[in-house]
Chain A
Amino acid sequence: MADQLAIGSRRGLKPALPLLLPAYLWLTVAIFLPLSAMFFFSFMTDLPLAGKEWSFTLGNYAAFFSQSLYSRLLLSSLRLGLEVTLWCVVIGYPAAYVLAKVLKGRSREAIFLLVILPFWSNGLVRIFSWAMVLREGGILDTALNAVLPFKINIDLMYSYPAVIIGLVHSYVPYMVLTCYLTLQAIDDSLIEAGRSLGASRRQVLWRVIIPLSMPGLVAGAALIFVPVVGSFMEPRILGGRTGTFYGTVIEDQFVAVFNWPLGAALSFILLAVVLIILALAAPVLRRTG
Chain B
Amino acid sequence: MAGVQVANVSRSFGAHKALDDVSIDFADGGFYALLGPSGSGKTTLLRQIAGFDFPDSGRIAIGGESVERVPVEKRRIGMVFQNYALFPNMSVADNVAFGLSVRGEPKATIATEVQRALDLVQLGKLGGRRPHQLSGGQRQRVALARAIVTKPRVLLLDEPLGALDKALRVDMQIELKRIQREIGITTIFVTHDQEEALTMSDRIGILRDGRLVQEGPPEEIYDRPQSEFAATFLGDANILRGDATGSGIKLPDGTTIAASTGASVPAGAKASCAVRPERIRISTGATTSDPANANTLKGRVSKRIFAGNNSTYFVERDGQTLKVIVQNTGTERLAEGQPVVLTWSPDSTVLIAA
Interface residues, chain A, with chain B CB atoms under 8 Å away: 187, 189-190, 192-200, 203, 207-208, 211-212
User: Contacts of A199 on B, CB cut-off 8 Å?
Assistant: 73, 98-99, 102
Q: Within the assembled complex, what's the spacing in Å between the Cα atoms of A116 and B214?
A: 54
Most B-side CB within 10 Å, residue of A192, A196, A198, A199: A196
Report the nearest B residue to A201, measured CB to CB.
Answer: B73
Q: Are A200 and B73 in contact (CB under 8 A)?
A: yes
Q: Are A207 and B102 in contact (CB under 8 A)?
A: yes
**B252-288, CB < 8 A from A:** none
Q: Within the assembled complex, what's the spacing in Å between the Cα atoms of A88 and B220?
A: 63
Q: Are A192 and B98 in contact (CB under 8 A)?
A: no
Pick from B72, B86, B89, B103: contact of A196, CB under 8 Å: B72
Q: Are A197 and B102 in contact (CB under 8 A)?
A: yes
User: Contacts of B183 on A, CB cut-off 8 Å?
Assistant: none
Q: Are A208 and B72 in contact (CB under 8 A)?
A: no
User: Contacts of B146 on A, CB cut-off 8 Å?
Assistant: 193, 197
Interface residues, chain B, with chain A CB atoms under 8 Å away: 50, 52, 71-74, 76-79, 81, 83, 85-89, 98-99, 102-103, 146-147, 150
Q: Are B89 and A197 in contact (CB under 8 A)?
A: no
Kindly list 5 other residue pairs between chains A and B, CB separation below 8 angstroms, not including A187-B83, A196-B79, A200-B102: A189-B83, A195-B72, A196-B50, A198-B74, A207-B98
Pick from A193, A203, A207, A212: contact of B85, CB under 8 Å: A193
Known: A195-B73, A196-B50, A198-B150. A190 touches B102 (CB 8 A): no
For the complex of A and B, 10 pairs with smallest distance between CB atoms: A197-B99, A196-B79, A193-B85, A189-B85, A199-B102, A195-B72, A211-B89, A203-B102, A189-B81, A198-B73
Q: Are A197 and B98 in contact (CB under 8 A)?
A: yes
Report the nearest B residue to A190, measured CB to CB.
Answer: B85
Pick from A187, A189, A192, A198: contact of B99, CB under 8 Å: A198
Can you identify 15 A-B contacts, CB atoms within 8 angstroms?
A193-B81, A193-B85, A193-B87, A193-B146, A195-B71, A196-B78, A196-B147, A197-B73, A197-B78, A197-B146, A197-B147, A198-B99, A199-B102, A211-B89, A212-B87
Q: Within the assembled complex, what's the spacing in Å between the Cα atoms of A197 and B76?
A: 8
Q: Within the assembled complex, what's the spacing in Å between the Cα atoms of A190 and B90?
A: 12
Q: Are A197 and B83 in contact (CB under 8 A)?
A: no
Q: Within the assembled complex, what's the spacing in Å between the Cα atoms of A199 and B101?
A: 9
Q: Are B102 and A192 in contact (CB under 8 A)?
A: no
User: Contacts of B103 on A, CB cut-off 8 Å?
Assistant: 198
Q: Within the assembled complex, what's the spacing in Å between the Cα atoms of A197 and B103?
A: 9
Report the nearest A residue to B99, measured CB to CB.
Answer: A197
Q: Within the assembled complex, what's the spacing in Å between the Cα atoms of A212 and B89?
A: 7
User: Contacts of A190 on B, CB cut-off 8 Å?
Assistant: 85, 87
